Amino acid sequence: MSRYERIAGLETHIELSTRTKIFCGCTTAFGGQPNTHCCPVCTGQPGALPRLNREVVKLAVQAGLATGCTIHRESRMDRKHYHYPDLPRAYQITQYDTPLCTQGQITLSNGRIIRIDRIHIEEDAGKSIHQEGRVLVDYNRSGVPLIEVVTAPDFRSAEEMREYLEILQRLMRAIGVSDCRMQEGSLRCDVNLSVRQVESDAMPTRTEIKNMNSFSNMVKAVNYEWERQIALLEQGEPVVQETRRYDESTHTTQPMRDKENSRDYRYFREPDLTAVIITDEEIAAWRAALPELPEARMARYIRSGLPSADAELLVKFRRVAEYFDEVSVGVSPRTAANFVLGPVFARMTDADKEEGTFPLPAEHLRELTALVEGGRLSKNLAKTTLERMMDEGKRVTDLLSAEDMAGVDDATLQAICQQVVENDPKSVADYQGGKEKAMRSLIGGVMRATRGKADPQQAEQMLREMLSI
């Protein structure tokens, strides 16, 4: 059997988080009673004229800047025709040969660069709902602004595609361009797939899988489709260029039954809209308004001493990163990260992280972290206190006395260690006889004697020195 190279490119549609639609003043809010967020413009009534929402241009340019794209000072809108009940004008207003942004890129953790060919703006269609043999249409989504991010065919595995989407999602959330919720359809992907024999430079035939709505389905669909194409080539059969869909019940891809495959979109310029012109001043202002990007933030955390896995968890949600920045002012990021990623995260769902709902204020966690850092509170006592702070909504100073927070000074700790050693000759003999476990019980003795205030690591160090032969 020959060896094959698996090739893929992604087209990602992302709903922009503007308050109003791209060509009218209707709300973009998700949900609502069917056909209540509409007007003559977004339902395509004769004579209704579109007017471009400038906020859409701003967010699309910011998405382009965050992915290193060239931003074009002049671009145009085009009509793309197809006949579907969810598209009332029978054409979509999009950008064809003059996209707003081109030539960006995203770098994966394996060092491979995924080229972004273009980012353009367009309108979303309505939603068809198939019910008891009838098709109902809800136009609330019609006219919601989208960007379409198109990559070059640079992917070589489904895992690379998943990572790219995670980075893209994180980036778009961080700059506030979109909430990128796959389950609500505010991030949707089409995948182009082909295979070719290794070391062949033939242009392989590709198929397209439309509307992947979860990472896990995308990975399954992509792997199934690549293997299907390889099996065909192995049998000497051609791969047919077509659009397919993923069937969740059979875990296979199936050809779409409509005429999608031989479609002629008859693109032409949208005569009802003028060119999109952007000034250098606008680009400069929009760039200046961008927050610190996740990659830069992650690099900053790693430089400050955090393991990269921890840094990655902290930048996944912008609100979490902002919270962490507040907690770690003036204290070691490592201690702060241990609290945030451990006990604080244990009480949070992904939705909490996205919305920034934390079990305690950053200020309160910083107070606790500073006490630990100053050696005034043992890690053990800090942990149980943190749980109580979250349960009772109190500050550390409400829960602990001055005495509790005084810590244990070196001389006192030394004296207590001495006492514990004298009172427990059996553990001492065991330890000196090579039983490591005995050290645990000696440390336990010190912790009991100090009511948890001693730092167990410091106690261990003192005990080991005391008992070294």
161 binds Zn ion (CB under 5 A): no
Query: Alpha-carbon distance 37 to 231, whole Å?
Result: 47
337 touches Zn ion by CB under 5 A: no
**Which of the listed partners (Zn ion, Mn ion, none) does 148 bind, with a CB threshold of 5 to 8 Å by partner kind?**
Mn ion
Q: Can you give the binding site for Mn ion, defined by CB under 5 A?
A: 148
Question: Should residue 24 be labelled a site residue for Zn ion when binding is judged by CB under 5 A?
Answer: yes
Span interacting with Zn ion, options 21-29, 71-79, 360-368, 427-435, rule CB under 5 A: 21-29
Q: In angstroms, what is the minimal distance from the CB of 181 to Zn ion?
A: 22
Question: Cα(first)–Cα(last) distance of the chain, in Å?
Answer: 66
Burial class (CB in 10 A: 0-12, 13-18, 19+), 413: buried
Q: What single string gives the DSSP state of each residue in 304-349?
A: TT--HHHHHHHHSSHHHHHHHHHHTTTS-HHHHHHHIIIIIHHT--
Of residues 31-90, those binding Zn ion (CB under 5 A): 39, 41-42
Of 16, 22, 26, 314, the residue at the interface with Zn ion (CB under 5 A) is 26
Burial class (CB in 10 A: 0-12, 13-18, 19+), 96: middle
Give the residue with the Cβ less far from Zn ion, 37 or 220: 37
Q: 118 or 353: whose CB is closer to Mn ion?
A: 118
Closest distance to Zn ion from the beta carbon of 19 (Å): 13
Residue with smaller CB distance to Mn ion, 212 or 416: 212
Q: Which is nearer to Zn ion, 125 or 315 (CB)?
A: 125
Candidates 337, 331, 330; CA nearest to 314 is: 337
Q: How many CA atoms lie within 13 A of 88 on its CB side?
A: 20
C-beta neighbour count of 160 within 10 angstroms: 18
CA–CA distance, 371 with 378 (Å, rounded to integer): 9
Smallest gap from Cβ 314 to Mn ion, in A, equals 33
Q: In the complex, what is the shortest distance from the CB of residue 324 to Mn ion, in angstroms, rounded to a whole number?
A: 36
The partner in contact with residue 290, picked from Zn ion, Mn ion, none with C-beta cut-offs of 5 to 8 angstroms by kind, is: none
Q: How far is the CB of 336 from Mn ion (least distance, A)?
A: 42
Binding of Zn ion by 182 (CB under 5 A): no
Cβ 119 to Mn ion, closest distance in Å? 11
Distance CA 288, CA 81 (A): 38
Report in angstroms how near the CB of residue 37 gets to Zn ion at its nearest.
7
Q: Of these partners, Mn ion, Zn ion, none, which one is at the site of residue 221 (CB under 5 to 8 Å by kind)?
A: none
- Kindly tell me the burial class for residue 466, based on how many C-beta atoms sit within 10 Å of its own C-beta (0-12, 13-18, 19 or more): middle
- Which residue, 78 or 148, has its beta carbon nearer to Mn ion? 148
Residue 245: closest CA among 188, 214, 207: 207
d(CA 55, CA 120): 14
Comparison of 5 and 11: residue with beta carbon closer to Mn ion: 11
Residues that bind Zn ion (CB under 5 A): 24, 26, 39, 41-42
